[in-house]
A and B are shown apart, each in its own frame.
Chain A
Amino acid sequence: MTLIAMPEADPTVLARRADIVKELKRFLPETSIIVSEDERRAYDTDALTAYRQLPMVVVLPETTEQVSEILGFCNAEGIKVVARGAGTSLAGGALPAEDAIVIGVSKMNQVLDVDFDNRTARVQAGITNIGISNAVAHAGFFYAPDPSSQLACTIAGNVAMNSGGAHCLKYGVTTNNVLGVKAVLIDGTVVEVGGDWLDAAGYDWLGLLIGSEGQLAIVTEVTVRLLRTAEGARPILLGFDRVETAGACVSDIIASGIIPVAIEYMDKPAIKVCESFAHAGYPLDVEALLIVEVEGSDDEIEFYLDKITAIAEKHAPQSLKVSQSEAESAAIWKGRKAAFGAIGRVSDYMCMDGTIPTGQLPHVLKRISEICESYDLGVANIFHAGDGNLHPLVLYNMNDPAEMVKVEECGAEILKLCVEVGGCLTGEHGVGIEKRELMTHQFDQVDLDQQMALKGVFDPQWLLNPAKVFPLANRPKPAQTGQRVAA
């Protein structure tokens, strides 16, 4: 029995399943409707694989108009909707509900327009994150936010969760890199917010929609900001024999006036697994490893690396190695970006995502080991040190129900610690179901009530991804405006 409950399914909706499928065929081709249990099985979880639930039906619309028809229908019928990109959420953001229709955006995956003069691209929401950068790389441009799952994850999911990545220390997260969206409201209304210009008019709808975890609208098109690729980039590897020293080195680098594009941290267990996977030349005898990347011209890179080396040397690093070639740099990043997958081959894990003030790094890392030890669970730490976004991977056995409860409790304790030291529950993965019941540790009820009131404005019946983000207790009563067809 896990601690994370899902609400009871509505039996009246389940009873109408056959009729609902028939209705969907009015505005969707049969190839866009997934009904059979076998095929629905592919949508029963996301990257938080410990939780599974078959959805009632899955639809894969090809146009904004189809999304509009589906939502209008669901709103009128009072049917819940779970939007889905590639299903790579680590927080259970795309976990279906038994009585919900899953709307997958994977068929809407085209680049619609690239404008190098204005440095923007307009894409359909189902395109992969890397797909955008691939479409503009020939001209020397890229789309900046780079989640580790960027080969698979969609911009739709990035918008829903306000995804970050290793390089957002310099370039910001999704909300800093999106200029406009086309979105469908629950009643089927299509709205356009912003466009190819800076600072959309009126209230900051982009800011509100980005990171709203599919609870306010479904985004079908996105206009992103493109950036010119730097002339060059080079990482330096800094190994330390103490976690605290690595933390102090991070603080000193940032205080020195240099903003590297990335400062990534790995601890010993993570280094070992990643090195055996990527052969990146990570030092194996250190307790903590920093990957610090700088970019610019050769001279600029040289200048920054000299400065960073001087700072690091004050902390007596056990090893210090500058990447000597593009191949070596690629291997260093391959190891980092594959870290979650590589560790997944060794053990099941629950990936935490709290953010803390960077000055608290040594204290928090020490407490994390103590907490995990107290639950008799292993932990590997891999995270974005520059901005304090931690990813402790708590290792456990998914098939052991007792360990499942233990890992949830252990994870909750780690996240509460992050809040206690001035941080937050989630830096880039989102709340989903995983952190839903922990929200009261970061927010007072009045804060949550204000957020939930906004949900009520966009989605009065609470049909869009309703089981997520907010604790199940103390929710407002949803409006009952849906006209239901006779069962």
Chain B
Amino acid sequence: MSDTVRPETEDALAAFVAEADSKALPLDIRGGGTKRALGRPTQTGATIDLSGLTGITLYEPSELVIAARAGTPVADVEAALAENGQHLAFEPMDYRHLYGMNGGSSTIGAVAACNISGPRRIMTGAARDSLIGVRLVNGKGEAVKSGGRVMKNVTGYDLVKLMAGAHGTLGILTEVTFKVLPKPEAALTLVYAGLADEKAREAMSEALGSPFEITGAAHLPGDPARTLLRIEGFPQSLDYRAGELTRDLKRFGTPERLETEASETEWQAIRDVVPLAAPTERAVWRISTAPTRGPAVAAAISNRIDAAYYFDWGGGLIWLACAAEGDAGAAIIREALGGKGHATLVRAPDDIRAAVDVFEPQPDALMALTKGVKTTFDPGGILNPGRMYAGV
């Protein structure tokens, strides 16, 4: 067990990191503690607990912008937005189901640091697309800022994007600013039954290529298989779009309709990987590829190992569960992808996550840049060392 430090200001955090850097003390960065099992296991000398850095620092509903200190629970941010009929459009996934946790709350900083999005990513972009400003403390204990509170900003390099998905290996986020959107008044999901994977992919491609603004397209194989298409907006418009879609997709059958609340329940489960949460001892992979390759990739994997899977993002995102043995299917999965996409091992015991590449291995040139960039932010290699890649 290592010591835990709970700074309450960015200055205190910066001072502590500077000291840790001088002592070569590796630091584990903790927000709400809901994603401890995401990434490679790390060996650290102290834990930085960000639960002391909380609070919404700016919220201007008429400017579609919210800023909060990194340790603020996502639930607090979402509640403040809901009061004004707004939301985080990228629909961040909640990892607690996957990791079998009941309590705790993810923080808004972790949503940014891990670039966590959900089904609506196909329409509104990922967390990184809504993230417009960050403050961070780098591994030298320097407070650095990038971006700001305005929608359009190309002033200097986009360190905001670089922070999104760096899993705390480049800097400790202290404050994040997101663009937000009005929450749609209503949602409607069309559910097609009994489509084979490739047929479902065709239906989803056709829907996503329509002008009817699909905000969710998922396919759950099974008996019967279910293919879900979500549209959102004001009620009158939903009727019209559902009608047009049903007509255009007639050859795929007659869909069942789920209204707002039932629709929300379905998509929350898809977002949070509830279908694969049990059995809890199985490994879970998150695989991103082009939608048209999704079914073939899933088939290539499940022909060789016992795997359960479903598709989000029109077929482009495969959630896949398999036995947590050996390399948990890593070699077979990455062979099936053939370099055209990437696979992340999001759930597996520590020993497996220590032994296999949790994140997609990078080509040599990009790995060299990864190490070079890491060195500029964190020359001592003290921030979440090894969380993404060994030696980074």
Residues of A bordering B, CB below 8 Å: 115-120, 140-141, 161-162, 164, 168-169, 172-173, 175-176, 185, 189, 191-193, 195-208, 210-212, 228-231, 251-252, 254-255, 257-259, 296-297, 299-300, 303, 355-359, 384, 387-389, 422-431, 435, 439, 442-444, 446-448, 450-451, 453-458, 469
A196 to B148, CA, bound (A): 30
Q: Does B81 contact A (CB under 8 A)?
A: no
> CB < 8 Å: which of A116, A201, A255, A430 contacts B62?
A255
Q: Given the known A-B contacts A196-B290, A299-B240, are A211 and B154 also in contact in the complex, defined by CB atoms under 8 Å?
A: yes
Knowing that A203-B373, A211-B157, A228-B211 are A-B contacts, what are 5 other residue pairs whose CB atoms are under 8 Å apart, sorted by A's residue number? Answer: A201-B342, A204-B166, A211-B158, A297-B240, A303-B234
> CB < 8 Å: which of B60, B157, B237, B341 contacts A208?
B157
> CB < 8 Å: which of A173, A196, A206 contacts B152?
A173
A189 to B320, CA, bound (A): 35
Cβ contacts under 8 Å, B143 to chain A: 446
Q: Does B63 contact A (CB under 8 A)?
A: yes
Question: Chain A's nearest CB lies how many Å from the CB of B78?
Answer: 17
A424 to B85, CA, bound (A): 28
Q: Does B208 contact A (CB under 8 A)?
A: yes
A387 to B151, CA, bound (A): 6
A254 to B61, CA, bound (A): 9
Cβ contacts under 8 Å, A204 to chain B: 115, 128, 161-162, 164-166
- Would you call A228 and B210 a contact (CB within 8 A)? yes
- Would you call B292 and A117 a contact (CB within 8 A)? yes
How many residues on the B side are at the interface (Cβ–Cβ under 8 A)? 80
Interchain residue pairs with CB less than 8 A apart (19): A117-B209, A196-B290, A198-B316, A199-B288, A202-B366, A207-B164, A212-B157, A228-B210, A251-B62, A299-B237, A357-B60, A358-B62, A388-B152, A389-B150, A428-B152, A443-B155, A450-B144, A456-B376, A457-B373
Question: Chain A's nearest CB lies how many Å from the CB of B227?
Answer: 16
Cβ contacts under 8 Å, A176 to chain B: 125, 129
Cβ contacts under 8 Å, B327 to chain A: none
Cβ contacts under 8 Å, A175 to chain B: 129, 158, 161
Q: Given the known A-B contacts A207-B161, A229-B211, are A358 and B63 also in contact in the complex, defined by CB atoms under 8 Å?
A: yes
A426 to B166, CA, bound (A): 26
Cβ contacts under 8 Å, A359 to chain B: 60, 62-63
- Would you call A202 and B129 a contact (CB within 8 A)? no
Cβ contacts under 8 Å, A212 to chain B: 157-158
Q: Which of B279-334 contact A (CB under 8 A)?
A: 288-292, 313, 316-317
Cβ contacts under 8 Å, A357 to chain B: 60, 63, 65, 149-150
Q: Most chain-B CB neighbours within 10 Å: which of A192, A201, A429, A453?
A: A201
Q: Does B372 contact A (CB under 8 A)?
A: yes
Cβ contacts under 8 Å, B181 to chain A: 259
Cβ contacts under 8 Å, A192 to chain B: 363
The chain B residue sitting closest to A422, CB to CB, is: B149
Per-position 1/0 for B154-181, Cβ under 8 A of A: 1111111110111000100000000001
Question: Chain B's nearest CB lies how many Å from the CB of A142?
Answer: 11
- Would you call B376 and A454 a contact (CB within 8 A)? yes
Question: Chain A's nearest CB lies how many Å from the CB of B244?
Answer: 8
Q: Does B205 contact A (CB under 8 A)?
A: yes
Question: Chain B's nearest CB lies how many Å from the CB of A479?
Answer: 12
A204 to B362, CA, bound (A): 12
A204 to B359, CA, bound (A): 13
Q: Which of B109-135 contact A (CB under 8 A)?
A: 115, 117, 121-122, 125-126, 128-129
Residues of B bordering A, CB below 8 Å: 60-65, 85, 115, 117, 121-122, 125-126, 128-129, 138, 142-146, 148-162, 164-166, 170, 181-182, 185, 205, 208-211, 233-234, 236-237, 240-241, 244, 288-292, 313, 316-317, 340-342, 359-360, 362-363, 365-366, 369-370, 372-373, 375-377, 388
Cβ contacts under 8 Å, B369 to chain A: 191, 203, 205, 457-458
Cβ contacts under 8 Å, B376 to chain A: 450, 453-454, 456-457
- Would you call B289 and A447 a contact (CB within 8 A)? no
- Would you call B156 and A451 a contact (CB within 8 A)? yes
A442 to B64, CA, bound (A): 22
Question: Chain A's nearest CB lies how many Å from the CB of B352?
Answer: 19
A339 to B167, CA, bound (A): 44
The chain A residue sitting closest to B237, CB to CB, is: A300
Q: Given the known A-B contacts A185-B365, A207-B162, are A119 and B208 also in contact in the complex, defined by CB atoms under 8 Å?
A: yes
- Would you call A205 and B153 a contact (CB within 8 A)? no
- Would you call B292 and A257 a contact (CB within 8 A)? no
> CB < 8 Å: which of B150, B236, B360 contacts A299?
B236
A118 to B209, CA, bound (A): 8
- Would you call A197 and B341 a contact (CB within 8 A)? yes
> CB < 8 Å: which of A118, A195, A230, A450 contacts B211?
A230
A355 to B149, CA, bound (A): 10
- Would you call A428 and B154 a contact (CB within 8 A)? yes
Cβ contacts under 8 Å, B208 to chain A: 119, 228
- Would you call A195 and B158 a contact (CB within 8 A)? no
- Would you call A201 and B362 a contact (CB within 8 A)? yes
A228 to B317, CA, bound (A): 21
> CB < 8 Å: which of B151, B170, B237, B290 contacts A296?
B237
Q: Given the known A-B contacts A198-B121, A199-B126, A450-B144, are A429 and B211 also in contact in the complex, defined by CB atoms under 8 Å?
A: no
- Would you call B211 and A231 a contact (CB within 8 A)? yes
Question: Chain B's nearest CB lies how many Å from the CB of A189?
Answer: 5
The chain A residue sitting closest to B126, CB to CB, is: A199
> CB < 8 Å: which of B85, B158, B237, B388 contacts A257?
B85
- Would you call A426 and B155 a contact (CB within 8 A)? yes
> CB < 8 Å: which of B129, B142, B341 contacts A450?
B142
Cβ contacts under 8 Å, B316 to chain A: 118, 197-198
Cβ contacts under 8 Å, A140 to chain B: 211
Question: Chain B's nearest CB lies how many Å from the CB of A354?
Answer: 9
Q: Most chain-A CB neighbours within 10 Å: which of B146, B289, B291?
A: B291
Question: Chain A's nearest CB lies how many Å from the CB of B385?
Answer: 15
